């Protein structure tokens, strides 16, 4: 082992001596040297190794780029598959929502299904059984027209030989987009003893037969509109939306003095059939049919304001500042505390409950004189 080591060291010394001798004898003028051409073999070997290393690094980079490109393509494919999966989930959810709409037993409310009103036929509607209510509804129609251009439909129940007064119709027809529909039949109560005060109220259901429209805002004829209601056309998709009957204890319960509805002959037929067993009137039948359905939406009670809310000395659900309620909160009010056509200006219900009540009473007669 020592002999081999000595031999190796001897050879290494010789090589070193030769290399050193050549190095000392080299000069820039010896560029014609064919062995080194101005460089040692060691330097050239190092350069060759560096060149190969660069080539391998370039190859490695190329391969890395190919791998990255392949992975990017796979990620894009996975992303597209993920988007398709999400679209499928959305589709399944929408189909499930439709199925829920078909079942009145499910309690889920699909309030996120916004109605697309693009190219939809929209309208306001009243039903009328005599000229007193025709006059009140006509005055409200004139008020509505200052805010909206949508159709305003009057449903006349003519089964009891009622003929709408031409003096009202002539003034009403000066407005644009006024429509008339005549119904020569009437939905009557089925049971004796039912309060005759609302004997005509079941005819309200005829508004569901206006199937030429996609959505209707129905108003009781004895309702006075104070502000634009067009935004109600854009509430979430539902068969019926109406305000909470805030003055009643048995909640949830809604009022039908305002209804945002989707016309349907099927719904109309179902409501008429329900009157065969119900001893109530329009609000009772509608609540029994809709209140637990997923396609029903309850609106805030402010959209069903009774005019007692504007009377001093009465119970107030929206604050005791009745002028603030009238000027800033209310969208409408309903003649329920009293009907102005049934009392005179000296009635204590007019004189003893503040300025707002007096003003609304006199506004009714101004409208009557102007439009009826």
**List of long-range contacts for 112-121, beta carbons under 8 Å, 24+ apart:** 112/236, 113/236, 113/237, 113/238, 114/234, 114/236, 114/237, 115/215, 115/233, 115/234, 115/235, 115/236, 115/237, 117/214, 117/215, 117/233, 117/234, 120/214, 120/215, 121/151, 121/212, 121/213, 121/214
Q: Which residue has the higher pLDDT, 67 or 152?
A: 152
pLDDT given for residue 97 in this prediction? 41
What confidence category does residue 102 fall into, taking pLDDT thresholds of 50, 70 and 90?
Answer: very low
β-pairing, 151-157 with 122-128?
parallel
Specify whether the backbone of 193 is left (phi greater than 0), alpha (psi in -120 to 50) or beta.
left
> Please, where are the H alpha helices in the chain?
2-25, 41-102, 131-144, 166-172, 265-274, 282-290, 322-324, 348-351, 355-371
Buried b or exposed e, range 194-223, using 16+ CB within 10 angstroms? beeeeebbbbbbbbbbbeebbbbbbbbbbb
How high is the pLDDT of residue 248? 93
Least confident of 2-6, 120-124, 348-352: 2-6
Contact 271, 209 (CB under 8 A): no
pLDDT of 33 strictly over 50 = no
Convert the pLDDT of each residue in 300-319 to its tens digit: 999 999 999 999 999 999 99
Position with higher pLDDT, 329 vs 56? 329
pTM (predicted TM-score): 0.69
Q: How high is the pLDDT of residue 106?
A: 35
pLDDT at 85: 61
pLDDT-derived band at 107, boundaries 50, 70, 90: very low
User: Binning pLDDT at 50, 70 and 90, where does residue 186 land?
Assistant: confident
**Euclidean distance between CA atoms 136 and 112, whole angstroms:** 36
Lowest-pLDDT choice from 128-132, 160-164, 222-226, 287-291: 160-164
Bridge partners of residue 156, in order along the sequence: 128, 182
Q: Using the predicted structure, report yes or no on whether residue 344 has a pLDDT greater than 70.
A: yes
118: left (phi over 0), alpha (psi -120 to 50) or beta: beta
pLDDT at residue 198 in the model: 53
pLDDT of 351 above 80: yes
Average pLDDT over residues 115-123: 83
What pLDDT, on the 0 to 100 scale, is given for residue 18?
A: 56
The full set of domains in the chain, from first to last, is 122-304 (3.90.550.10), 307-371 (no CATH)
Residue 92 pLDDT greater than 80, yes or no? no
Give yes or no for residue 30 having a pLDDT over 70.
no
- In the predicted structure, residue 98 carries a pLDDT above the cut 80: no
Q: What is the mean pLDDT of residues 118-127?
A: 92
């Amino acid at each position: 082992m020592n002999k081999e080591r000595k031999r190796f060291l001897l050879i290494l010394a010789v090589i070193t001596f030769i290399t050193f001798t050549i190095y000392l004898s080299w000069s820039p003028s010896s560029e014609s040297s064919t062995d080194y051409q101005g460089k040692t073999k060691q330097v050239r070997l190092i350069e060759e190794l560096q060149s190969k290393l660069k080539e391998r690094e370039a190859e490695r980079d190329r391969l890395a780029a190919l791998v990255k490109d392949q992975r990017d393509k796979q990620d894009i494919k996975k992303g597209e598959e993920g988007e398709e999966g999400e679209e499928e989930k959305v589709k399944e959810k929408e189909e499930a929502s439709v199925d829920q709409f078909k079942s009145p037993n499910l309690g889920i409310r699909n309030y996120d299904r916004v109605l697309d009103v693009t190219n939809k036929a929209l309208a306001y509607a009243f039903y009328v059984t005599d000229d007193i209510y025709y006059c009140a509804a006509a005055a409200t129609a004139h008020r509505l027209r200052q805010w909206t251009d949508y159709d305003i439909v009057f449903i006349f129940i003519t089964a009891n030989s009622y003929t709408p007064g031409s003096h009202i119709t002539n003034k009403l027809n000066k407005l644009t987009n006024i429509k008339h529909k005549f119904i020569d039949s009437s939905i009557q109560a089925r049971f004796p003893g039912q309060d005759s005060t609302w004997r005509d109220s079941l005819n309200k259901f005829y508004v569901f037969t206006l199937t030429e429209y996609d959505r209707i805002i129905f108003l009781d004829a004895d309702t006075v509109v104070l502000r634009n209601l067009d935004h109600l056309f854009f509430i979430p998709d539902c068969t019926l939306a109406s305000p909470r009957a805030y003055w009643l204890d048995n909640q949830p319960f809604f009022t039908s003095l305002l209804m945002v509805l989707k016309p349907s002959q099927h719904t109309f037929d179902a409501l008429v059939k329900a009157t065969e067993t119900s001893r109530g009137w329009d609000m009772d039948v509608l609540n029994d049919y809709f209140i637990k359905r997923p396609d029903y939406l309850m609106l805030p009670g402010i959209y069903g304001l009774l005019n007692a809310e504007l009377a001093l000395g009465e119970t107030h659900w929206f604050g005791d500042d009745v002028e603030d309620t009238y000027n800033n909160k209310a969208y409408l009010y309903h003649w329920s505390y009293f009907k102005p056509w049934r009392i005179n200006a000296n009635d204590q219900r007019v004189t003893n409950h503040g300025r707002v009540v007096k003003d609304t009473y006199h506004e009714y007669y101004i409208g009557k004189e102007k439009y009826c």
